[in-house]
């Protein structure tokens, strides 16, 4: 495992995850790496894919309907990317009846 990947996984394991109710801002503990490596990490480890194109500020939301995780990433002009916030319980594309069914299972 590359040192940068290890750094990201350690940061995530050590509690940078948040619940859907309160996303945690990780600016004090930013995890940054080359954008391509960030992309590979989000896809390989969490099954996340981009939800939309990057905003004008260079922020892009990634999420996984399968794992329920989401990550907001800021793309930098130097080719790096930093995790801005992340959380769990992503339920995009699930209608109200499906959400209710998930809660009662």
Domain that holds residue 86: 3-104
Mean pLDDT score of the chain:
74
Beta-strand pair 70-75/80-87:
antiparallel
pLDDT average, residue stretch 27-41:
88
The predicted pLDDT at position 55 comes to 92
Domain total in the chain: 1
Sorted by sequence, the CB contacts under 8 Å of residue 76 that are 6+ apart come out as 32, 35, 58, 82
Q: Give the containing element (helix H, strand E) for 96.
A: helix 96-104
Identify the pLDDT of residue 65: 87
Tell me how far the alpha carbon of residue 78 is from its chain's centroid.
20
**Per-residue pLDDT tens for 73-85?**
999 999 999 999 9
Q: In this predicted structure, what is the pLDDT of residue 29?
A: 73
Q: Which residue has the tokens 């790496």?
A: 33
């Amino acid at each position: 495992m590359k040192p940068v990947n290890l750094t990201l996984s350690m940061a995530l394991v050590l509690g940078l995850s948040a619940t859907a109710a309160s996303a945690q801002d990780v600016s004090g503990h930013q995890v940054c790496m080359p954008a391509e490596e960030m992309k590979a990490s989000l896809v390989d480890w969490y099954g996340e894919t981009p939800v939309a194109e990057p905003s004008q500020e260079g922020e892009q939301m990634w999420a996984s309907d399968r794992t329920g995780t989401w990550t907001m990433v800021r793309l930098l002009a130097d080719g790096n990317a930093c995790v801005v916030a992340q959380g769990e319980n992503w339920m995009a594309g699930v209608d109200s009846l499906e959400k209710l069914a998930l809660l009662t299972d």
